[in-house]
Amino acid sequence: MAQASPPKFNIRFQPGDIVTTATAGANLMAVAIDAGVHINASCGGAGVCGTCKVLIKEGQVESERTKWLPAKEYEKGIRQACQCWIESDLVVEVLPASRLEKAVIYREQQATAEESLPLVEGWSFQPPAEKYCLSLPPPTMEDNSADLTRLLRVLRQQHNLGNVWLDPVVLPGLAQALRDGDWKVTVTTLTDDAAGVKIINVEPGDTRKKYYSLAFDIGTTAVRGQLLDLNKGKVLAQSIEYNQQISYGEDVISRIVQSQKAGGLKKLQKAVVTTVNKMIGQMAEKARVDSGDICHMVVAANSVMIQLLLGLNPKHLRLSPYVPTVNIVPPVKAKSTGIELGDHVHLYALPLVASYVGGDIVAGVLGTGIYQRDTLTLFIDIGTNGEIVIGNKDWMVTAACSAGPTFEGGGIKHGMIAAAGAIEGFSINPDDCQPQIITIDGEKPKGICGSGLINIAAAMLKAGVISPNGKFNTGLQTDRLRRGDDGYEYVLAYAEETQIDKDIVITEVDLDNLIRSKAAMYAGYKTLARSVGSDCAHMQQVILAGTFGCNIDIENAITIGLLPDLPRDRFVFIGNGSLLGARLTSFSQDLLADGRKIAAMMTNIELSENAAFMDNYMAALFLPHTHAEDFPSVTLDKGGCR
């Protein structure tokens, strides 16, 4: 007898009122992901982070309480989505703290205006995909050579392009295109260092005015895209979206773990491709461009994101000795990844250097032209994985150091991403130790973001509220300082002042995490500089890339020892160096070649098993540093709040 199939239930997610069906016993988190409903899940569904909280408003789930869920919340019907198995029709509310907030990625960057940036120079505007308009003599009985033969002959005669080959995808439409255009056609060629010039498209008539490309920065968290007009070298539209892979975990490690599950790699590829497709649609609509007129795309991304986009198993990126599958990525058909563009569109990925130094860094180095100048430059992209480059036109070394999630609010009791309500600005009254806080968008405080954490620590250090070892000065006369569950803590905002009905505090554990993160970054610069016989003090320029880097207060970052103590005019913010490099590469075959040159020229130093790095790290576990002589401009008020 046939087995009865399990019953189907209707699941309604709020807000958004997204309805889907699920079989009995299905995991609620999995059902949400399939339905395109995002629920935060730092641990990727392992049940051990407690961030995926939902309220079961109607219906039954099987779900036991874990230690990540307070009894009070459990009684109210709150559950961890990843620990719920469906038993009936449901109405599920995704709690505010578990939702994606778009604010963070739309946030204005305080990047330097592009005209005053250090930018790459000396390249000619010649995109990798080029268009040529041809007028062919129609065939006659005297000259009835094949369509392709005729086309290649005229391409040689009219544009001096010989030794050209042809992508076979062009063949099925060739005869019709020539005749539809009454023997006038526009040929798109693609130039690729290794394989020469290739015809990738033949369109009827003169389509040279419709000449567009895409530049993408695919980040672990956010994806940024630009639609470019290749005739004008202009950005026509921009888009930013969360990388839909976020549903599978917040950091690259959880993505790699996910990719090892059955079907995981395909799901992750599909997730990011869905994001990219959505953005292409948005930008094309905004710019009133037919996405069929897009001729190529350039992507910059970290090594894990690139391998996932291309469907390459990222397993070995995190296993010693940390080997990527490919560094100089050959151009691939965009369509082969699932990206919805014409059959002829190729995707160029900026080359990567190593498992943790990706195409985003190469793009930043390319865009800023570090590799062209004598100036000894320190390039920093601060994040969970901080990437560092030191070099000039003659040599470059690079390293990645694991700073941990601190700068994104991870591991901090009231840490949060830099969204509305995050405490960012901070000062302390030296007389009574009372704080003044400024939140993003001026909302009532909800937590502390990474740049806020730096500002708070710097102000407290300067005022003597904390000591250089990160411990509170327990002799202070203020009730803001108190003992909490995690030892001493300082109250930044009392419950009634907040959006979360809880005191927002900063604890000694938070400060300890911050110190370890900044020590990892600083030890990175130092180890890398020393590896080439130099020193942080010799850096003639410091370039800060990335969204987080651009929201740092330089002075405060130096005060806590996150950045080296150099003259302030040596620092420059470039904003999203990854997207900058992708855009410029989209404009120039020279830069496409330079990207490969840069990747080949960069020497990667593995810090994780490096003894000097460990020594430098230990020495940096102090505010600003164990060696005060490294930070001559930082003076601390030894007195503390009186």
Tell me if 2 contacts a copy of itself by CB under 8 A: no
Residue 141 Cβ, how far from a copy of itself at the closest point, in Å?
5
CA–CA distance, 575 with 110 (Å, rounded to integer)? 7
* Residue 51 or 604 having the CB closest to a copy of itself: 604
Build a one-symbol-per-residue string for 150-169: x at contacts with a copy of itself by CB under 8 A, - elsewhere.
-------------xxxxxx-
* Residue 116 or 163 having the CB closest to a copy of itself: 163
**Helix (H) and strand (E) counts in the chain:** 16, 29
Residue 391 Cβ, how far from a copy of itself at the closest point, in Å?
18
DSSP three-state, residue 164: strand
Tell me if 149 contacts a copy of itself by CB under 8 A: yes
Tell me if 172 contacts a copy of itself by CB under 8 A: yes
DSSP three-state, residue 598: helix
Q: Map the footprint of a copy of itself across residues 352-391, applying CB under 8 A.
A: 352, 354-355
Tell me if 176 contacts a copy of itself by CB under 8 A: yes
| CB distance 384 to 407 below 8 Å | yes
CB count, 10 Å around CB of 451?
Answer: 23
Residue 137 Cβ, how far from a copy of itself at the closest point, in Å?
12
* Residue 351 or 435 having the CB closest to a copy of itself: 351
Residue 404 Cβ, how far from a copy of itself at the closest point, in Å?
22
Tell me if 527 contacts a copy of itself by CB under 8 A: no
Where does this chain touch a copy of itself (CB under 8 A) — which range of 239-247, 351-359, 367-375, 472-480?
A: 351-359
| CB distance 476 to 433 below 8 Å | yes
Tell me if 320 contacts a copy of itself by CB under 8 A: yes
* Residue 276 or 493 having the CB closest to a copy of itself: 276
Please state, in angstroms and as integers, the Cα–Cα distance from residue 208 to each residue in 147, 211, 229, 230, 401, following that order: 21, 6, 11, 10, 46
* Residue 333 or 538 having the CB closest to a copy of itself: 333
Backbone angles phi, psi at 190, to 5 degrees: -125, 130
| CB distance 403 to 422 below 8 Å | no
Q: Map the footprint of a copy of itself across residues 94-133, applying CB under 8 A.
A: none
Residue 324 Cβ, how far from a copy of itself at the closest point, in Å?
5
- The token pair that represents 323 in the structure block: 């080997």
Backbone angles phi, psi at 290, to 5 degrees: -80, 125
Tell me if 171 contacts a copy of itself by CB under 8 A: yes
Tell me if 184 contacts a copy of itself by CB under 8 A: no
Where does this chain touch a copy of itself (CB under 8 A) — which range of 39-47, 139-147, 431-439, 616-624?
A: 139-147
Beta-carbon contacts of residue 432 (< 8 Å; ≥ 6 apart): 478, 641
CA–CA distance, 152 with 498 (Å, rounded to integer)? 70
- The token pair that represents 223 in the structure block: 């994806």
Q: Which of 135, 145, 158, 434 binds a copy of itself (CB under 8 A)?
A: 145
Report the amino acid identity of residue 457: A
Give me the residues paired with residue 224 across strands. 217, 240
Q: Map the footprint of a copy of itself across residues 549-578, applying CB under 8 A.
A: none
* Residue of 492, 384, 496 whose CA lies nearest to 448: 492
* Residue 26 or 300 having the CB closest to a copy of itself: 300
Tell me if 534 contacts a copy of itself by CB under 8 A: no
* Residue 101 or 147 having the CB closest to a copy of itself: 147
Tell me if 328 contacts a copy of itself by CB under 8 A: yes
Count, residues near a copy of itself per rule CB under 8 A:
51
Residue 169 Cβ, how far from a copy of itself at the closest point, in Å?
8
CA–CA distance, 407 with 417 (Å, rounded to integer)? 9
Task: Find tokens 């001729």 and name the residue.
Answer: 295
**Beta strand pairing call for 294-301 and 332-333:** unpaired
Tell me if 260 contacts a copy of itself by CB under 8 A: no
Q: Which of 326, 532, 593, 636 binds a copy of itself (CB under 8 A)?
A: 326
Q: Which of 195, 495, 537, 628 binds a copy of itself (CB under 8 A)?
A: 195
Residue 534 Cβ, how far from a copy of itself at the closest point, in Å?
22
CA–CA distance, 109 with 467 (Å, rounded to integer)? 32
Asked if the peptide bond before residue 321 counts as cis, ω within 30 degrees of 0, the response is: yes
Where does this chain touch a copy of itself (CB under 8 A) — which range of 500-508, 510-518, 558-566, 604-612?
A: 604-612
Can you give the three-state secondary structure of 302-341, one letter per residue? CHHHHHHHCCCCCHHHCCCCCCCCCCCCCCEEHHHHCCCC
Backbone angles phi, psi at 457, to 5 degrees: -65, -40
- The token pair that represents 7 in the structure block: 């019953």
Tell me if 263 contacts a copy of itself by CB under 8 A: no
Q: Which of 148, 236, 253, 593 binds a copy of itself (CB under 8 A)?
A: 148
Q: Which residues bind a copy of itself (CB under 8 A)?
A: 139-141, 144-149, 163-168, 171-172, 174-176, 192, 194-196, 198, 310-313, 315-316, 320-328, 330-333, 336, 352, 354-355, 604, 606, 609
